[in-house]
Amino acid sequence: DEFRRYLIHERSQGITIEEGVWSRAQHKGVRERGYPYVSAFGDSDGEECLQAVDQKGTLMGYIILHRNYIFDFVIDPQYMGCSIGTALLAVAGAKLCKSGAETVALDVRRGNAPAVKFYEHHGFVVTEKTFPPWYDWHGGYHMEANT
């Protein structure tokens, strides 16, 4: 299956995207390095995820999907710029297509301009400005893309 094992053939040779299960022990450190604020979701052990690992098994990033919504998406900052986010998004899109989903959605903090640019580069568009009460933020954007 394409979405089970995906190799990046650019600058990050040897990186594998695989299915995993989110756990505080393994994934929280990546989130803490990637998020300068408290995450609103994805704190529960046992969440299914797609994760990027290197040949030594080092976790480099992950994405959690709930139906067609990106619940949590983090790349360890030391691996940003290595196409890992693009690969995780591609594998998530393939998984969604296989399930019959026509769109994918997410919310991003207004102050996270690099993430907004990344998502726009990958076909996402802002559908509305949001102020979700469950976040520790001051507004953001709901974004969607076709799968």
- Whether the pLDDT of residue 41 is over 90: the answer is no
pTM score, two decimals? Answer: 0.83
Question: What confidence tens digit (pLDDT) does each residue in 54-73 have?
Answer: 888 899 999 999 889 998 89
pLDDT of 5 higher than 60: no
Q: Which helix (H) or strand (E) holds 146?
A: strand 140-146
How many CB atoms lie under 10 A from the CB of residue 121? 9
Task: Over range 5-22, report the average pLDDT.
Answer: 66
Q: Note the pLDDT of residue 37.
A: 61
Other Cβ atoms within 10 Å of 96 Cβ, number: 20
Q: Taking all residues of the chain, what is their mean pLDDT, rounded to a whole number?
A: 82
